[in-house]
Amino acid sequence: MTIPIDLFAAVILVALAIVIAAPLILLAFWIADVKRGVLW
Amino acid sequence: MNALSDAILDASVGWSVLAAFSVLWIFLGWFWGRRAEALDDYVLAGRRVGLALGTATAMATWVTSNTTMAAPQLALQMGIWGMLGYSLGAVGLLMFAPLAGRIRRLMPSGYTSGDFVRLRYGNTAWRIFLVISLCYSLGWLVSMGMAGGVLINALTGIPYHYGMTVILTICVGYTLLGGFRAVIGTDFIQAILILVGLAFIAVLAIRTVGIETIHSGLLTERPELLSLLLPAGIMFLFNNLLFGIGEIFHSNVWWSRAFAFRPGVGGRAYTFAGLLWAPIPIVAGFVALAVPALDLNVPAADMVGPMVAATILGTTGAVLVLVMVFSALSSSIDSLLAATSILVVEDIYRRHLKPGAGAAHLRRVTSCVIVGLGVLTWALCAPRITTLAELLYFTGAFVASTIWPIAAGLFVRRAGSVGAITGMVLGSAAGILSYFTIGFYVAALVGAAVSMACVLVAMWLAPGKFNWKDLREQELAQGATA
């Protein structure tokens, strides 16, 4: 029983979307922490 | 078949990239650490780390060279389950989230995971735990030092020993200069570099080769890698899940972050870190699955990741790969150096050798231990003795045996020293036995199962009645000297 192409592609593309969004999320956290004065 | 016998980058380009990033990390280490005179500032960044740096440091530290090299290797050996199994390493970060909050509340002045085991279970369990934790830390450090040498060699042709020496020297340098503040500050930048680099490689792989071509190439040449019923792969999935949990629950790398985060930050930081980390091995593994479609000859399994990336991306892209992997290596090695050094200083030096030592004295000793750890790691990396994944999974049995003693110790009053000691000893022994008799992919599974049985049976037969207030030790006077 092999994984079908559609499911295979969906798994890869969802994972890739999170990897692309992650740096933006980290930068948003950074800006929020700096504004609140709680970076470190 | 195309044999990729030559490095994709010229050695001079490789040296230039390494030099540029080395200067950057060293400068940042000095800059961020220039006022870290007090022990808490140096080893725990003043215990005031916020959500952004907290999330980034947990995520970047968990993205190791093994994520960038062993995940592709495992994808090529175990297919879809190899990728997903590695991705389940994120569960460890997610499950540690509630523990991090509780650790910060129960031990506001704590320094190490060893402090917890000593206060919770007594000296015998503590010393067994220290052996496990220090062996694991050293194993992780060595696996990454080796990965540095292998990867830099594969990408640039720089000899293994030179690459390995450079990566270790740089990490020791900036950790020594800036302490934990340098570690988490550089981790933020390294996390961004890793994520951007990986996304770039994956997008180019999809554009160059195509998901459909990769899928059909696998179906033709390696259909077992797409099988949803590959037994070793499924076993690996559960094994890796427990291995990841064991690594995070016991290791001072993660405990020191729990102590360093602001109150209320730990739970959220570890949750976000887990969610952002989970897709990384899937994307890294996917790149390796392009091997059949690219008709590549892979001479060594642990080189598959950089080989595929270099084949797809060419010279310019290979520079990006080098930067990304250098960041992955640095973010983990610096964390291990910082966390292991305070473990050695607090649990061995202070508790065994010099109980009266003050904070200023311990601050100086920590610097010496960071250098000593770097030298020891270099000496163990010099002979390249085993493949990266084998070295990594050898420690699985040991760390998985600590899951139940740690988790039960944090939340259940009835958990006592008998269960913790037998759990760690018998769990490790059973895990190692299964490692050699069955395979690396079951060691953590067996270790955790035996440990769980020991802890639960001991709670039932000889229940303890622990007072949580006993975890609060008097704070070290930060200005005091020995």
pLDDT tens string B197-253: 889 888 988 998 899 999 998 888 888 888 887 666 677 777 778 878 888 998 999
| DSSP secondary structure code for residue B6 in this structure | S
B219 and A20 within 8 Å at the Cβ level: the answer is: no
Sign of the CA dihedral with B42 first, then B48, B52, and B54 last: positive
B53 and A33 within 8 Å at the Cβ level: the answer is: yes
Task: Give CA torsion, residues B248, B165, B343, B359, to 10 deg.
Answer: -130
Q: Chain A partners of B53 at a C-beta cutoff of 8 Å? A: 30, 33, 39-40
pLDDT at B66: 67
Rounded-to-integer distance, Cα B139 and Cα B392, Å: 7
Backbone angles phi, psi at A25, to 5 degrees: -65, -45
Q: Chain B partners of A9 at a C-beta cutoff of 8 Å? A: 211-212, 215
Suggest the residue from B87, B203, B283 to mutate for an interface test with chain A (most A CBs closer than 10 A): B283
**Which stretches within B344-442 are classed as H helix?**
359-381, 388-394, 396-400, 403-411, 417-437
CA A35 and chain centroid, separation: 23
pTM: 0.91
**Which stretches within B112-230 are classed as H helix?**
113-121, 123-156, 160-208, 211-221
Suggest the residue from A5, A7, A24, A26 to mutate for an interface test with chain B (most B CBs closer than 10 A): A26
Residue ranges of chain B with pLDDT lower than 70?
1-6, 65-66, 69, 230-233, 299-303, 386-393, 474-482
Suggest the residue from B41, B276, B331 to mutate for an interface test with chain A (most A CBs closer than 10 A): B276
Rounded-to-integer distance, Cα B171 and Cα B315, Å: 26
Suggest the residue from B215, B216, B234 to mutate for an interface test with chain A (most A CBs closer than 10 A): B215
Q: Judge whether B448 and B403 are in contact, CB under 8 Å.
A: yes
- Residue A31, C-beta contacts closer than 8 angstroms, at least 6 positions apart: none
Q: Chain A partners of B286 at a C-beta cutoff of 8 Å? A: 12, 15
| DSSP secondary structure code for residue B3 in this structure | E
Which two three-digit tokens encode residue B37? 């005179």
pLDDT at B383: 86
Chain A and chain B share a number of CB contacts under 8 A equal to 108
| DSSP secondary structure code for residue B230 in this structure | -
If you measure CA to CA, which chain A residue comes closest to B187?
A26
If you measure CA to CA, which chain B residue comes closest to A29?
B52
Which two three-digit tokens encode residue B94? 């997610």
pLDDT at B330: 93
Rounded-to-integer distance, Cα B93 and Cα B97, Å: 6
Reported ipTM: the value is 0.96
A40 and B280 within 8 Å at the Cβ level: the answer is: no
pLDDT at B1: 38
Q: Chain A partners of B202 at a C-beta cutoff of 8 Å? A: 12, 16, 19
B53 and A3 within 8 Å at the Cβ level: the answer is: no
Nearest to B51 among A1, A2, A33 (CB): A33
pLDDT tens per residue across span A1-40: 788 999 999 999 999 999 999 999 999 999 999 999 999 8
Neighbour tally for B404: CB within 10 Å: 28
Q: Chain A partners of B184 at a C-beta cutoff of 8 Å? A: 40
